[in-house]
Structure 1
């Protein structure tokens, strides 16, 4: 589905070189292609890859190519969010300071994102903020269906409401492949 105005995307060679320099990791072709699409910002994306394959790197790499861009990562586990913040800090990327307006990446659990009066509804109405969004990433998105019975915010009708509020913002859904029984 067409979303916001596409941004110029770097070449795959540029993505690999800049990522290697900034993050000291050489991205695989599939990672570079995912980032190229994320930077364009004109389509939603789904990434299905095994645990440990480098899915997380694909949602930090776009920050290297959209210098004013912001990524929001919705993660079901607070530990994953904390790990993401620490990793980004080690690369000099401010992970979250919302009140001061200094942030490039925001990690949040679904409860905080969806909570009435939680503050995000003000951000969704702030054009200066939403115009900087690269994408909203749902990490471990498979948990929405498997955890919805024990976590109210994981009910699909609640979890996907930002899609309706931000129709021009790409969503990036990330999960491991389904295991065979």
Structure 2
């Protein structure tokens, strides 16, 4: 197995690890961005981290500075990663609506702020923490935890627009 495919295979578990790390601080967290760097390279450059990192993990998430307030898409569009970063993961809290409620909210009829307000006030809304992780080579994984449930939903298709925006940070 090549290093690239092992990174892609390990990405779902890494997304779960990032979610657990953020979950330890509780809910109502700001958007958080992590660089995914090769663990072996990180240990080579900083051997003093040996006791803190899982040497068996292909990639290590490294928390980045806070993103600016405002439009997430605009903030992501301004990011360019150095070659040493092989991927990234973004964690954000979102509101999830049932499909029938989303169908009633026609985006073409409303501005974005009005849609956010309607979603926040919807009686069937659920709060969730979403983690989207991508690799420079194209791999992606997503996990989502609903605020009132312990189960973790998994699948790369959970946030296609977000994963596309994260992939764009590598072009």
Shorter-chain TM-score range: under 0.3
**TM-score, length basis structure 1:** 0.26
**TM-score, length basis structure 2:** 0.27
